[in-house]
Structure 1
Amino acid sequence: MTFNTSTRDAGFAAPTASVLTGPMNRKMPTIYFVLPCYNEAEGLEHTAEVLLAKYHSLVNTGEISKASRILFVDDGSKDATWSIIRKLHESDETVFGGVKLSHNRGHQNALLAGLMTALAQGCDAAISMDADLQDDVNAVDEFIRNFKNGDEVVYGVRSARKKDTWFKRNTAEAFYKVFEWMGAETVPDHADYRLMSREALDALSEYHEVNLFLRGIVPTLGYQTSKVYYERGEREAGESKYPLKKMISFAIQGITSFSTKPLSFVTGAGIISILVAVAMFIYVLVSLGFGHAIAGWGSMMISVWLIGGLIMVSLGIVGEYVGKIYMESKHRPRYRIETTL
């Protein structure tokens, strides 16, 4: 087993693809399967077994090169995830690789670390997917066919959301509509199950923002793209790493990272507050004229709460952007790789 301890921050730069491997091979490409992992010890061995079978199937049929790899990225897990990744690497060093981040940096940064590692090691394309096997691994066959036909990015898109709860299905639909209305570009019902060519990965390496939202960044890269529809399955083992609180945070991260429209709401809220204040002033004058001054007390209290709420919401929106500017100005690395297998 070979250990390569690295202190390099792969989040800000990566070697250019042309320097690494020369012309891209689309006939029998070197494909890296990149899987971010956080506390996935319960089901990781089964995931590896399924992916290994898919790897051998693709190699035996000549679809991909034997140099292809399955790369697990441990995002600072607190369970035995890294031990299992090391065990898998020891069992077959030619197929299984691993990247261990020195600290938990979140799914998007862990995924980026894996993609940039795959680029640096000379892949022709990388397929990113979750480690819980909810993404249909059989869809990668069509991913690779589309790549061979010239597509630089292939999106895995859910064909239906029948297995989701009513709440999750409708909130997801609302998020994509709001995201589109904000002027940001995204692919509805697409998570992070996609194929990216070496050229697309090289373009991605030039995006240096700390507030990372890959679902919004990748569509802005351009290049020739396509979609592969699949049915998302149930989680094989363990619990979801995206509870409601995390999903809301992720949605806010995506919206504020790609649109400044929420800032315009502050101006709108101010105009509404002024209009309400004018209306309440007229109402108070009329009440005084008819000798019903006491009625104005309730209206005044409502207006105070309304204006106070609008001010707090506006400050919160501005605070989100100021916080992001603050984090970007620090120029801190998005992740640090502790060990590479």
Structure 2
Amino acid sequence: MLSIILPSYNEGKNISKASGVISELLASNNIPYELIFVDDGSKDDTWNEIEKASKGNPNVVGIHFSRNFGKESALFSGLAESTGDACIVMDCDLQHPPETLIEMYRLWQEGYEVVEGVKRSRGKESILHKASAGLFYKLISKAVKIDMSRASDFKLLDRKAVDSLLAMPERNAFFRALSAWIGYKTTTVEFDVREREEGESKWSTWSLIKYAITNIVAFSAAPMQVVTIAGVLVFLFAIILGIQTLIKFFMGHAVAGFTTVILLILIIGSIIMISLGIIGYYISKIYEEVKGRPKYIISKKINKK
């Protein structure tokens, strides 16, 4: 059986369409399936629409969070509740083309255990959003040492791969990177991002920035290394400035005023403050992991056996 996980946050207008299109497509190809809609604490009528879809189709499963826990938590909860031999994660706004599901499924039947959906094009986006997205993927690719330039959450995972992901105890999990990190026999499928038929994108430039910071810290120690590099550069700068000052002193041209001292204090002080901020962020994430709170809390379920 194939499990389709669809994280849903304020997607009330898209539930019925997604359920109907995907169900019809899979049924016409004789693929046994379950659709798992995960309502991530939506503020609109998303849960009511999931209930309606489940009444008309027993293959539709609904999971309702007690509040908004974020897309990563919704993804992992869907994987944890799935029962299929393979799972596909996709957006319920149908920007991930449903037809690609069949291609992914056939590749899985051929023996591939992870089928990555990679973006051939990103669709229509503002210049600012494209620029911020491009910067995000460059940073995350360097940080996690995996090419994330065309990566997406749209992918198929064999049950073995799903179990490997669920066995990881970390709370701040980055699905896109971890699904590549676990390995297994992998292939890719290209797709064009479609325009949303209803609603608006939940990803603003600011949310992308926060997403980038959270996931870089969760998957890499690169920012901590930046602190070390900055410290080395300041140390080298101090040596050069110190040599210059000594030369002028012995030549009888001592530096007048406090300009150099103030400059050094400002530079070193700013480096220290930035360093403390980065270290503090890592400590806060360690604190979250140590507390061991669950990634999410499920308040309701529909059609879950």
TM (norm. structure 2) is 0.91
Q: Does residue 59 of the first structure (1) align with residue 22 of the second (2)? A: no
**How large is the RMSD of aligned CA atoms in angstroms?**
2.0
- Kindly provide the amino acid, as one letter, of the partner of residue 196 in structure 1: L
Matched, 1:81 2:42: no
Deviation at 1:291, TM superposition (A): 6.3
SS of the equivalent of 1:192 reads coil
Among candidates 264, 286, 291, match of residue 303 of structure 1: 264
Partner of 1:96: 60
Question: What residue in structure 2 maps to residue 319 of structure 1?
Answer: 280
Offset of residue 298 of structure 1: 3.4
2:253 maps to what in 1?
290
Q: Any idea what the Cα deviations from partners look like across 1:255-281, whole Å, max 9, x if unmatched? A: 111211221222222222222233334
Q: Are positions 1:222 and 2:183 aligned together? A: yes
After the TM superposition, which of the residue ranges 263-272 and 209-218 deviates more from structure 2? 263-272
Equivalence map 1:17-32=2 (5 Å): 30-32=1-3
Cα separation, 1, equivalents of 2:278 and 2:160:
36
Higher RCO, Cα 8 Å, sep 6+: 1
Corresponding letter in the other structure for 1:188: S
Identity of matched residues, %: 36
Residue of structure 1 equivalent to 2:195 = 234
Match of 2:115 in 1: 154
Q: Does the CA contact (< 8 Å) of 1:134 and 1:235 recur in 2?
A: yes
Q: In the TM superposition, what is the alpha-carbon distance from 1:286 to its structure 2 partner?
A: 5.8
Q: Deviations over 1:83-119 (max 9, x none)?
A: 1111111222x2221001122111000111011101x
- 8 Å Cα contact 1:280/1:303 also seen in 2: no
Would the alpha carbon gap of residues 236 and 171 (structure 1) be closer, same or farther in structure 2, given more than 3 Å must change? same
TM-score norm. by structure 1 comes to 0.82
Q: Which residue of 1 aligns with 2:155?
A: 194
Q: Relative to structure 2, which stretch is displaced further, 146-155 or 40-49?
A: 40-49
* Structure 1 pair 239–133 and aligned structure 2 pair: CA distance change class (3 A): same
The alpha-carbon distance between structure 1 residues 242 and 202, as it changes in their structure 2 partners (threshold 3 A), is same
For structure 2, which runs of at least 5 residues remain unmatched after alignment? none
Which residue pairs with 2:135 in the alignment? 174
The aligned residue for residue 144 of structure 1 is: 105
The letter for the 1-side match of 2:28 is N
1:152-186 per-position Cα deviation (integer Å, ceiling 9, x unaligned): 11111100236333333344333333333335335
Indicate the larger mover: 232-241 or 159-168: 159-168
The residue aligned with 1:340 is: 301
Question: How many residue pairs get matched?
Answer: 300
Give the gaps of 5 or more residues in structure 1.
Answer: 1-29
Alignment of 1:262 onto 2:227: no
State whether structure 2 residue 248 is matched by structure 1 residue 248: no
- In the alignment, the residues of structure 1 paired with residue 253 and residue 79 of structure 2 have an alpha-carbon distance, to the nearest angstrom, of 72
Give the equivalent residue in structure 1 for 2:87: 126
2:88 and 2:144 mapped to 1: Cα distance? 27
Among 16, 26, 41, which residue is 1:45 paired with?
16
2:162 aligned with 1:208: no
Displaced runs of 4 or more, over 6 A: none
Cα offset for 1:309? 1.6
In 2: Cα distance, 1:46 partner to 1:303 partner: 62
Q: Do 1:184 and 1:216's aligned partners in 2 also have CA atoms closer than 8 Å?
A: no
SS of residue in 1 equivalent to 2:285: helix
Q: Is 1:274–2:235 an aligned residue pair?
A: yes
